[in-house]
Amino acid sequence: MKRNNSNSTKNIKGARITILVIAVALLVIIGSIVAAQKFSTGSKTVQAASSTGESSNDDKENSDSVNKESNGSVEDVAYLEKYIEQQEKNQKPDGADGKKVAYLTFDDGPSTTVTPQILDILKSEDVHATFFLIGKYVDKDDASKNLVKREVAEGNAIGIHSYSHDYGYLFPKGKINLENCMSDFDKTDKALKNVLGEDFSTRSIRFPGGQETWSKKDPQGAEKVDKALHEKDWHQIDWNALSGDAEGTHKKNADELTQEAIKSIGNREKALILMHDTYGKEETAKALPRIIEYLKQQGYEFKIIE
């Protein structure tokens, strides 16, 4: 009888050990399944965020930093404002250092006909430009707004060229209307923020007709508007070279525009080149690759203005 009890006890212990082993194995299997599901869910979440363009703030900041660096060189608008003013007075500009720099600038856009061509050329040539935009064209439609976004996304700079471009409103009787001008600039600034976000800002202003024109016609008005602009850290930028695509009654073809640009660039150390990307300026787009090629051959570096 004692032998039978001993065997029975051994059998019970063996069964308990077997059950315990099976239970542990089941727990391990269940834990592995749960972990795998969590990993899969997390992976899908990351993929979904990636596919919808979501990213963290750090990612966006890093991307912005990379875009800034990829712009190439950036010139301070306040420096160029003073440079042009001194040059116009036949003074040697502060900061003249012998380095040849070209600033491609385009006024009166965006246009859905010419601006895309200009952007395609800039991208293919691996150079950047500064676009002085008219607010009413920014607000025109979604296609125009998308062009503004593309200009910035591809490393170009944005400036303000008034909202209305209406000489009668901005310069009634040939005099600068300070209130109307500042209102127009503010309105364009808001239009750009609506497209590019509230964090967007620009310091670059270009008067319709240019600063020099109105400084000669209305020196007191020009002094007042300069003061008002500088209080907002805004700076007017004129030009010292141009393609002539808005000059005279004769509409120049691409060859004529190229030659005019080369002639006006001359041997300038800092060449701020005026062109236009508004409607009807298809010949400007045709001339642009040749103008860029010439500048590269002459050893110019390209910079944007901010």
3-class SS letters over 200-215 = CCCCEECCCCCHHHHH
Q: Which of 52-56, 160-164, 212-216 has the lowest mean pLDDT?
A: 52-56
**CA pair distance 139, 202, nearest whole angstrom:** 17
CA–CA dist 72, 155 (Å, integer): 8
Strands 301-305 and 157-160: unpaired
At 248 the pLDDT is 82
165 pLDDT higher than 50: yes
Smallest CA-to-CA distance from 235 within 204, 199, 189, 212 is with 204
**How distant, in Å, are the alpha carbons of 71, 184, 190, 221, 254 from that of 85?**
26, 24, 28, 17, 30
pLDDT for 181? 97
For residue 17, what pLDDT band results from cuts at 50, 70 and 90? Answer: low
Which pLDDT score, from 0 to 100, does residue 31 have?
52
pLDDT recorded at residue 249: 83
Asked whether 8 and 2 are in contact (CB, 8 A), the reply is no
The answer to whether 253 touches 82, Cβ cutoff 8 Å, is: no
Percent of the chain whose pLDDT exceeds 90 = 72
| Cα–Cα distance, 222 to 212 (Å, whole number) | 9
Contact indicator for 272, 101 with CB cutoff of 8 Å: no
100-136 pLDDT tens trace: 999 999 999 999 999 999 999 999 999 999 999 999 9
Assigned CATH for 73-305 = 3.20.20.370
| Spatial CA neighbour of 243 closest among 285, 282, 290, 284 | 284
Every domain of the chain and the residues it spans = 1-54, 73-305
Give start and end residues of each alpha helix (H) in the chain.
Answer: 2-51, 57-70, 77-88, 115-125, 135-138, 142-153, 167-170, 178-196, 211-217, 219-231, 254-265, 282-297
The residue to which tokens 């859905």 are assigned: 112
Mean pLDDT for the stretch of residues 278-302: 98
Q: What type of residue sits at position 102? A: A
As beta bridge partners, residue 106 has: 131, 275
Mean pLDDT of 10-38: 51
* pLDDT band at residue 16 using 50, 70 and 90 as cut-offs: low
Give CA separation, 227 vs 79, 147, 190, 289, in Å.
16, 32, 21, 38
CA angle 77, 79, 85 (to 5 degrees): 100
Tokens of 265: 């660039």
Q: Say what the pTM is.
A: 0.78
Query: What is the arithmetic mean of pLDDT over 235-247?
Result: 96
Q: Is the pLDDT of residue 198 over 60?
A: yes
pLDDT digit string (tens) for 173-190?
A: 999 999 999 999 999 999
Q: What is the mean pLDDT of the chain?
A: 84
Q: Is the dihedral of CA 217, 218, 222, 225 positive or negative?
A: negative
- The whole-number average pLDDT for the span 256-279 is 98
- The answer to whether 233 and 265 have CB atoms below 8 angstroms apart is no
Tell me the per-residue pLDDT of 51-100, one tens digit each, with 9 for 90 and over.
333 334 444 334 443 444 444 599 999 999 999 999 989 999 998 899 99
